[in-house]
Chain A
Amino acid sequence: MNTVIALIPRFIEAMGVTLEVSVLAALIGIAAGFALNAMRLAFGHPFKLLYGAFVWLVRGTPYLSQLVIVYFGLPVVGITLSAVQATIVSLAFYSSAYFAELFRAAWASVPRGQLEAAAAFGVSRRDAFRSIELPQALAFAAPLIANQTILVIKESAVASIITVPELTMTASDIVASSYTYIGPYALLIACYWLLTQGVSVIAQAATSRIPFSKKTS
């Protein structure tokens, strides 16, 4: 038990790396996903096809598959990234497809009738977007975004395979050097669980502040 407690500082540091990588990737993914959805709404059919292909490719293959292409494959065409850079880039890329679909659902959740009413009352398209569509869509999206961020955190464990010093890599390191298995891995599971529970709790508290949001279950 004492040895487990002694490991905690290392795990906390590793948790920091996990969070850094995940949150950064998620933020980029959210921005990219939002942009992709906006473009899908704004531009016409050819972009919709590209969008569909993108989502199909990214969501139809494992994240690990995409990570190794970015980290090991891209140098072949001259793009060399560090392990951390490759992780953030590929994780952002991977999550952007999910966030794009998420925003698509959020926009679809706003009833058409409201926009028709806005048009009928002479509200400009831009104002309608800003004051009617956006708030409701975001309220719908908020719990989903929190959920997807949790998925990004879980997916970040895969980065241990290319030796990013996050939680899983750290645990495996400790196991390899100390030949104890139960302590480090128990801590590993506990750390991830606390992270995902933490995000979930914070998200629920935050979304409950939105007066008209749908709560996560």
Chain B
Amino acid sequence: MNGPDLLTRCIGYLPQLLDGALTTFVLSGVAVCCGFFVGVFVYTMSVSDSRLMRGAARVYVSVLRGTPVLAQLLVFYYVPSALGLELPGLAAAVIGLSLNTGAYQSQILGAGFRSIAPGQIEAASTFNLTRRQTLWHIEVPQVVRATLPALVSEMIDIVKASAVVSVISVTDLMRVSQQLSSSTYRPLEVYALAAVFYLAITSLLAGAGHVYAQRAARRP
């Protein structure tokens, strides 16, 4: 392998890989955000007065954490078409990833919810805030602040998990590298470069999380 040639080729791959990387990053970000609301919802189910709700939450978390993401994505991509609804790959990917991260986030956020002093909820109740208002105005802001490092960690996991959406025809970083590899017959350098891109994304996120954690530790 010729050094300068290799470099030229790699530079040639950059535009497409960057495009794929952007798709991966945005897809993961959207999934984590949607997953946040799923997580809050599943958490409220898990502490509901109804045994049915609590059981449903437990089953949901158990199945989504106990099975591979790829299997879940295949379900969300193919099963709707069996029921007559054609779901584009990107939509299935967002739904599948959101539901998956939602299961994990419900556990992460749950720890945050439990750390809030009950007195604060009592005060909210006394002043006649509805339970929904208490949830979104009193609890959630504090839960986010308390669990942000764990949520960043979860986003890193989702970025890595998202590589399999290439299987349901989403042109993410992985799929772009697969296309490049078959068109250039140079799998090693293409896949290695794609891996570097993934590494860059996850390292950036890890760094951001680290910076936030340090800043949070300094606040009183």
Contacts and interface: CB of A to CB of B under 8 A. Distances in A.
Interface residue tally on B, bucketed by range: 35 or more
A158 to B, nearest CB: 6
Interface residue tally on A, bucketed by range: 35 or more
B26 interface: no
B68 A157 contact: yes
B133 interface: no
Interface of B: 62-63, 66-72, 74-75, 78-79, 81-82, 159-164, 166-167, 174, 177-178, 181, 186-188, 191-192, 194-195, 198-199, 202-203, 206
Given A62-B162, A73-B188, A76-B188, 9 more contacts: A62-B198, A64-B174, A65-B163, A66-B195, A68-B177, A157-B70, A185-B71, A192-B71, A193-B62
B204 to A, nearest CB: 10
Given A63-B160, A72-B181, A158-B164, A193 B66 contact: yes
A20 B202 CA distance: 31
A124 B191 CA distance: 49
Main secondary structure of the interface of B (DSSP, over half): helix
Contacts of A197: 62, 66
Given A72-B181, A180-B82, A185 B74 contact: yes
B188 A77 contact: yes
Nearest to B199: A60
26 contacts: A57-B199, A62-B159, A62-B161, A62-B164, A64-B163, A65-B195, A66-B195, A68-B178, A68-B181, A72-B187, A73-B192, A74-B188, A154-B69, A156-B68, A157-B69, A157-B70, A161-B167, A168-B71, A175-B78, A181-B78, A182-B82, A185-B71, A188-B71, A189-B71, A193-B67, A197-B62
